[in-house]
Amino acid sequence: MPDPDRERRRVFFALWPDEPTLERLDQIGKQLHALGGGRRMRRETLHMTLAFIGEVPPARIKILRQAAGRVAAPAFSLRLDRLDCWRHNRIAWAGCSDPPLQLLTLVGQLYERLEAAGLPLETGDFAAHMTLLRNVHYARCEPLPELEPIDWPVAEFVLVESRLTPEGPHYGVIDRWPLAQGVGT
């Protein structure tokens, strides 16, 4: 008998950095690691989660893709200007001191489209951050280094599958949606 649990796919919507942004984030991860230790996220796994969906049966993927296809939001520039550590889960992250309206609009729309498709998520879950390190020694991270702002041109969002392994997660893009160019930037 096929085991339905084995077929489930762990998925989430995210922003994936372009190459220059990845490069900068990877360097900052290195600096932070020298301070606070822990486990660096591999360069190719760095991302910003927009909406974590979790483990779903394969048929749900189509519904997620349709919902995402109904998002109509502008492309924007995302300024990453903040480094921080969270004590509760011991991650060090880069993010925005003041998330731009376009980012909140994109996330808000995505949540709305998911809800309209019968897949509501907990609202208030979104925190604009990109995990750089896990299991950091929180106290050793202070004072955090200055982050010279990174201006990341966000031109699309993606649906990603996560496969968890003992060496860390492996992510694969299932589908991508461009954001509208030439408006709101």
**Within positions 8 to 27, which residues make up the interface with ligand ATP, using CB under 6 A?**
10, 12
Q: Does 166 contact ligand ATP by CB under 6 A?
A: no
124 token code pair:
């208030």
Nearer to ligand ATP by C-beta: 163 or 180? 163
Distance CA 55, CA 70 (A): 22
Collapsed DSSP state (helix, strand, coil) of residue 31? helix
**Binder to ligand ATP among 100, 108, 169, 184 (CB under 6 A)?**
169
Least CB distance to ligand ATP at residue 49 (A)? 4
Q: How far is the CB of 10 from ligand ATP (least distance, A)?
A: 5
The secondary element (H helix, E strand) that includes residue 94 is: strand 91-95
Distances in Å between the alpha carbon of 127 and those of 60, 131, 175? 25, 11, 22
Binding positions for ligand ATP, rule: CB under 6 A: 10, 12, 49, 52, 125, 131, 162, 164, 168-169
